[in-house]
Structure 1
Amino acid sequence: MHLLVLLICAQVSAQITHKRTLKLMGSRFDITVVAKDTTQANVDIDIAVSEITRIEKLISSWDPNSQTSEINRNAGIKPVVVDKELFDLIARAISISKLTDGAFDISYASMDKIWKFDGSMKEMPSEETIKASVEKVGYQNIVLDVANSSVFLRKKEMKIGFGAIGKGYAADKAKSLLIEKGVVSGIINASGDMNTWGKQVNGEEWKVAITNPLNKNKAFALLPITNGAVVTSGNYEKQVTFNGIRYTHIIDPRTGYPSSGLISVTVFAPKAELADALATSVFVMGKEVGLNRINQLPNIECIIIDEKGDLFTSNNIEINKI
Structure 2
Amino acid sequence: MRILIISCLFILFQANLAAQNKAYTEVLLLMGSRFEITAVSANENKAREAIQKGINEIKRIEKLISSWDENSQTSAIRKSAGIRPVKVDQELFNLIRRSKKISDLTHGAFDISYASMDKIWKFDGSMKEMPDSAAVAASVSKINYKNIILNAENTTVYLKNKGMKIGFGAIGKGYAANKALGIMSKLGLDGALVNASGDLISWGKDEGGKSWKIGISNPKQKDQIFSWLNIDETAIVTSGNYEKFVTINGERFSHIIDPRTGYPVKGLSSVSIICPNAELADALATSVFVLGKEAGLKLINNLKGIECILVTDDQKMMTSDNLKLEYHNKK
TM-score range, shorter chain: over 0.9
- The aligned amino acid for 2:138 is A
CA deviation profile, 1:217-237 (whole Å, cap 9, x unmatched): 223222111101001101012
CA distance in structure 1 between the aligned counterparts of 2:31 and 2:246, rounded to whole angstroms:
27
- The equivalences for 1:236-315 within 5 A come to 236-242=242-248, 245-315=251-321
CA distance in structure 2 between the aligned counterparts of 1:40 and 1:200, rounded to whole angstroms:
16
- The alpha carbon displacement at 1:15 in A equals 1.6
CA distance in structure 2 between the aligned counterparts of 1:114 and 1:212, rounded to whole angstroms:
34
- The alpha carbon displacement at 1:210 in A equals 1.8
RMSD: 1.4
CA deviation profile, 1:175-216 (whole Å, cap 9, x unmatched): 111112222311100001110011112222111122245543
Structure 1 position 116 matched with structure 2 position 131: no
Larger deviation, residues 274-283 vs 35-44: 35-44
- The alpha carbon displacement at 1:121 in A equals 1.4
CA distance in structure 1 between the aligned counterparts of 2:187 and 2:89, rounded to whole angstroms:
24
- The equivalences for 1:1-322 within 5 A come to 1-2=6-7, 3-212=9-218, 215-242=221-248, 245-319=251-325, 320-322=327-329
- The aligned amino acid for 2:237 is V
Secondary structure of 1:216 counterpart: coil
- The aligned amino acid for 1:208 is I
TM-score, with normalisation over the residues of structure 1? 0.96
Secondary structure of 1:173 counterpart: helix
CA deviation profile, 1:60-93 (whole Å, cap 9, x unmatched): 0011111111111111111111111100000000
Secondary structure of 2:134 counterpart: helix
CA distance in structure 2 between the aligned counterparts of 1:176 and 1:11, rounded to whole angstroms:
23
Contact (CA 8 Å) 2:130, 2:248: kept in 1 or not?
Answer: yes
- The aligned amino acid for 2:79 is R
Contact (CA 8 Å) 1:213, 1:264: kept in 2 or not?
Answer: no
CA distance in structure 2 between the aligned counterparts of 1:242 and 1:304, rounded to whole angstroms:
25
CA distance in structure 1 between the aligned counterparts of 2:224 and 2:14, rounded to whole angstroms:
37
- The aligned amino acid for 1:216 is K
Contact (CA 8 Å) 2:41, 2:207: kept in 1 or not?
Answer: no
- The alpha carbon displacement at 1:123 in A equals 1.1
- The aligned amino acid for 2:217 is T
CA distance in structure 1 between the aligned counterparts of 2:154 and 2:145, rounded to whole angstroms:
20
Matched pairs, number: 322
Contact (CA 8 Å) 2:21, 2:208: kept in 1 or not?
Answer: no
- The alpha carbon displacement at 1:321 in A equals 5.0
Aligned sequence identity (%): 55
TM-score, with normalisation over the residues of structure 2? 0.94
- The aligned amino acid for 2:21 is Q
CA deviation profile, 1:7-31 (whole Å, cap 9, x unmatched): 3332332221111111111111000
Contact (CA 8 Å) 2:219, 2:317: kept in 1 or not?
Answer: no
Cα distance change of structure 1 residues 202 and 250 upon mapping to structure 2, 3 Å threshold:
same
Q: Which has the larger radius of gyration?
A: 2
- The alpha carbon displacement at 1:263 in A equals 0.5
Unaligned stretches of 5+ in structure 2? 1-5
- The alpha carbon displacement at 1:100 in A equals 0.6
- The alpha carbon displacement at 1:261 in A equals 1.4
CA distance in structure 1 between the aligned counterparts of 2:140 and 2:225, rounded to whole angstroms:
37
Contact (CA 8 Å) 1:233, 1:264: kept in 2 or not?
Answer: yes
Contact (CA 8 Å) 1:213, 1:236: kept in 2 or not?
Answer: no
